[in-house]
Amino acid sequence: MSLNLRDVTEADLPEVLSLRSRAFGPLTTGDSGTWWERVAAETLGGRWLGVADESGALVGAGRIRPYEQAWGGRHLRMGGVAGVYVEPSARGRGVATALTRGLITRMGELGDVVSCLFPTTVSLYRRSGFEVGGVQQRTTYAGPTLRDLGSLTSRRGAPSPATSTPAAAPAGAPAAAAETSGRPRRAQPADADVIHRMLRDDAERHIRSGPMPPTVDQLRGMIERDELITYVTSDGVVIYDLASEAVTVEHLVATTPEAAARLWGLVGSGSAAVPTVHTYLDPRDPLTLMLGGLPAEDVRQVPWMARVIDLSAAFAGRGFPPLARTEVEVVVDDPEAPRNTGRWLLSVENGSGSATQVAASPDLGAAAAGSVDSAPAGGPAHVGARGLAALWCGWSTSRLRQAGLLTGGSPDDDAALDTIFAATPYLTEYF
Ligand SMILES: CC(C)(COP(=O)(O)OP(=O)(O)OC[C@H]1O[C@@H](n2cnc3c(N)ncnc32)[C@H](O)[C@@H]1OP(=O)(O)O)[C@@H](O)C(=O)NCCC(=O)NCCS
C-alpha cells in the first residue's frame, strides 16, 4: 500500500470523525459539538496530519497539541501527540508508523522541542524513538483530613475570615493583583494572567519537570465558562472539579504553609457531601508532609512516553540543578529526527545548559552510526532516540545500561549524565 502524508483540512473533518468513531467509538452527545470544534480550532492548519492510501482516502490521522511544559523548572514548547487512529481495514501495514514519523518531522518544523503522549501500545512509539518517561498519578485523600488542615491554620493565628481580604473583589478588576492576603475568593476571568504566572513560578520554584500550565486564554475561558472551580489568594490558587462521587484537584499552588492549609482546607470543606478527593499533582506534593493522615493506598498511575525532538534547542531551554557544573560527550543516533544525530558536548553550569555538536552524523564512524550496542570501547557514551528520551526523563544511566539503551562511555560520563538529567518528571493532564 502506498501511503501519503498530508495536512488534514476542514473538508476532511467528517471523514476523520468517522475514522475516530471506528477507533474509539462514537463521541458522547455532550462532546460531539464543542469538543470536536475545539480540537479543530487548536490543530487545523499545521498540527493535524492524515495518511491517505493510493485512492486518496484518509486511512489514518494524528494531532499535535500545542503545550508549554516545565523541564527543570523552565518551560519548553512540547508537542502532545493525540488522536492517533487508523482505519481498521488498513491496520498492520505501517500507517501509524508513517504517521508518527510525520508528526515528529512536523513538530521539528513547528518548533516543538520535546513531545509527550499517552500510548495505547508502546511498541508503535518505541520504533519512532519515544520511551516511557513517567506516570500521571492519581492520589486520593480523605476530604475530612484536608478540612482539618484548614482549621489548623485558623488555630495558628492566620488571618481569620472576618479580618482578612474581602471575599469578592469588584467585578472586572484585576482582582488577584489587588489581593493582599488571606481568605481564598472565587477567581474571575481577569485573574487568568496572575494564575498563569503562579503556575509557571511554582514549576520554577520546585524545579519541576512535566507539568503543563494552561495558557492565559485557556484559563480565562475556563473561568468564564465556569468549567472548573477556581479560588485564588495572594499566595496561591486551587483549580478543581466537583462531581457527585469525588472532588478532583487539577492544580494547587501555595507559596506559604498557611496558603497551602487554607486552599486544601477549602477543597476539604465539602467533605460532608463529597468525602473523596483525587489529585493529579506531583506524586511528592508537600501535602503529604503536612497532612495528619496518609493518602489512600490505591494510587492510579497512567504511564506516558516522551521524545526529544530538537536536542540542541531543548537542552538550551531546559533548567538544570543549580549546583550542577559538568560537561560530557554523548553520541546520539536518531534517524527519525536527524538533527539530533551526532556527537554532542553537553555542558551545564549555573542552572543552564548548552548542547554543541562536535561531529555530525557522517563523521561518527561506523560504530556510532549503527546500533547502540556497537559503541567502541573508550569512546563516548552512545544512545539512540529511545535512550536519549529516557535520559531526558531522568532514568539513571545504570538503568539505561540494564535496559540496553546506553553503551560506551565511562563511569565518569555516567556520573555526569546522571547529574545533568536528574529529575522525576510527572504529567498532570491527560490528553
Ligand atoms: C494502534 C494503531 C494506531 C496502530 O495502527 P497501525 O497502522 O496498525 O500500526 P502499524 O502498522 O504502523 O504498526 C506499528 C506497530 O504498532 C504495534 N501495534 C499496532 N497495533 C497494535 C495492537 N493492537 N496491540 C499491540 N501493538 C500494536 C505493533 O508493534 C506494530 O508493529 P508490528 O506490526 O511490527 O508488530 C491502530 O491499531 C488503531 O487505530 N487502534 C485504535 C486506536 C488507538 O489505539 N490509537 C493509539 C492511540 S495512542
Collapsing DSSP states into helix, strand and coil, what is residue 396?
coil
Lowest mean pLDDT among 29-33, 139-143, 193-197, 393-397: 29-33
Q: Is residue 119 scored above 90 in pLDDT? A: yes
Cell reading at 346: 553537553
CA of 387 to the centre of ligand 1 (A): 22
Q: By the 8 A CB rule, do 184 and 158 touch?
A: no
Quick check: CB of 120 below 6 Å from ligand 1? yes
Amino acid 244 reads S
- Backbone CA torsion sign across 41, 119, 397, 356: negative
Furthest-apart CA atoms within the chain: distance in Å: 74
Q: By the 8 A CB rule, do 181 and 235 touch?
A: yes
The 8-class DSSP code of residue 182 comes to S
Q: Is residue 297 scored above 70 in pLDDT? A: yes
For residues 105 and 90, give the distance between their C-alpha atoms in angstroms, rounded to a whole number.
23
Quick check: CB of 125 below 6 Å from ligand 1? no
Q: Is residue 86 scored above 50 in pLDDT? A: yes
Q: Is residue 403 scored above 80 in pLDDT? A: yes
* Local confidence band at 154 (pLDDT 50, 70, 90 cut-offs): low
Quick check: CB of 121 below 6 Å from ligand 1? yes
Q: Whose CA is nearest to atom 33 of ligand 1?
A: 92
137-302: same fold as 4-129? Answer: yes
Q: Is residue 53 scored above 90 in pLDDT? A: yes
Q: Is residue 175 scored above 70 in pLDDT? A: no
Please, is 162 exposed, middle or buried when counting C-beta atoms within 10 Å of its C-beta (0-12, 13-18, 19+)? exposed
Residue with cell 475556563: 222
Lowest mean pLDDT among 67-81, 144-158, 239-253: 144-158
Cell reading at 326: 559538568
Q: Whose CA is nearest to atom 14 of ligand 1?
A: 124
Phi, psi of 301 (to 5 degrees): -125, 135
CA of 87 to the centre of ligand 1 (A): 11
The mean per-residue pLDDT over the stretch 156-174 comes to: 41
Q: Is residue 131 scored above 50 in pLDDT? A: yes
Q: Is residue 366 scored above 90 in pLDDT? A: no
Residue 2: Cβ within 10 Å count = 6
Residue 135: Cβ within 10 Å count = 17
Quick check: CB of 93 below 6 Å from ligand 1? yes
CA of 92 to the centre of ligand 1 (A): 7
Q: By the 8 A CB rule, do 326 and 420 touch?
A: yes
Residue with cell 546500533: 371
Quick check: CB of 84 below 6 Å from ligand 1? yes
CATH of 137-302, one of 3.40.630.30, 3.80.10.10, 3.40.50.620, 3.40.50.150: 3.40.630.30
For residues 305 and 160, give the distance between their C-alpha atoms in angstroms, rounded to a whole number.
45
Residue 191: Cβ within 10 Å count = 26
pLDDT of residue 261: 95
The two beta strands, 74-86 and 114-117, are parallel
Lowest mean pLDDT among 80-84, 294-298, 333-337, 408-412: 294-298
Q: Is residue 169 scored above 70 in pLDDT? A: no
Cell reading at 197: 504566572
Q: Whose CA is nearest to atom 12 of ligand 1?
A: 94
Class of domain 4-129: alpha beta
Q: Whose CA is nearest to atom 31 of ligand 1?
A: 124
Quick check: CB of 119 below 6 Å from ligand 1? yes
Lowest mean pLDDT among 12-16, 110-114, 377-381, 399-403: 377-381
The mean per-residue pLDDT over the stretch 115-141 comes to: 97
Instruction: Express as a percent the part of the chain with pLDDT over 70.
Output: 88
| Ligand 1 atom at minimum distance from 85 CA | 39
pLDDT of residue 370: 40
Tens of pLDDT, residues 227-255: 999 999 999 999 999 988 999 999 999 99
Report in angstroms the alpha-carbon separations of 34 from 27, 214, 241, 404. Answer: 11, 18, 19, 45
Q: Report the DSSP beta bridge partners of residue 85.
A: 61
Q: By the 8 A CB rule, do 307 and 104 touch?
A: yes
Collapsing DSSP states into helix, strand and coil, what is residue 317?
helix
CA of 216 to the centre of ligand 1 (A): 36
Amino acid 362 reads P
pLDDT of residue 359: 85
Phi, psi of 266 (to 5 degrees): -65, -45
| Ligand 1 atom at minimum distance from 95 CA | 7
For residues 117 and 131, give the distance between their C-alpha atoms in angstroms, rounded to a whole number.
10
Mutate which of 59, 121, 126 to test ligand 1's pocket (most atoms within 8 Å of Cβ)? 121
Residue among 43, 254, 39 at smallest CA distance from 153: 254
pLDDT of residue 228: 93
Q: Whose CA is nearest to atom 17 of ligand 1?
A: 124
Cell reading at 87: 482505519
CA of 16 to the centre of ligand 1 (A): 17
Q: Is residue 157 scored above 80 in pLDDT? A: no
Q: Whose CA is nearest to atom 3 of ligand 1?
A: 85
CA of 32 to the centre of ligand 1 (A): 25
pLDDT of residue 35: 86
Specify the CATH superfamily of domain 310-421: SCP2 sterol-binding domain (3.30.1050.10)
Q: Is residue 173 scored above 70 in pLDDT? A: no
For residues 385 and 407, give the distance between their C-alpha atoms in angstroms, rounded to a whole number.
13
Tens of pLDDT, residues 197-234: 999 999 999 999 999 999 999 999 999 999 999 999 99
Average pLDDT for the chain: 90
pLDDT of residue 361: 63
Give the start-to-end residue ranges of the domains of the chain: 4-129, 137-302, 310-421
pLDDT of residue 246: 94
pLDDT of residue 288: 93
pLDDT of residue 26: 87
- From the CA atom positions of the chain, what is the Rg in Å? 24
The mean per-residue pLDDT over the stretch 260-265 comes to: 96
Lowest mean pLDDT among 14-18, 35-39, 95-99: 35-39
Quick check: CB of 123 below 6 Å from ligand 1? yes
Q: Is residue 171 scored above 70 in pLDDT? A: no
| Ligand 1 atom at minimum distance from 87 CA | 39
For residues 27 and 31, give the distance between their C-alpha atoms in angstroms, rounded to a whole number.
6
CA of 263 to the centre of ligand 1 (A): 43
The two beta strands, 247-254 and 236-242, are antiparallel
Residue among 378, 381, 297 at smallest CA distance from 343: 381
Tens of pLDDT, residues 136-146: 999 999 999 99
Residue among 325, 323, 247, 331 at smallest CA distance from 281: 247
Mutate which of 124, 127, 130, 302 to test ligand 1's pocket (most atoms within 8 Å of Cβ)? 124
Q: By the 8 A CB rule, do 397 and 419 touch?
A: no
Quick check: CB of 53 below 6 Å from ligand 1? no
Cell reading at 261: 492549609
Collapsing DSSP states into helix, strand and coil, what is residue 52?
strand
Q: Is residue 179 scored above 60 in pLDDT? A: no
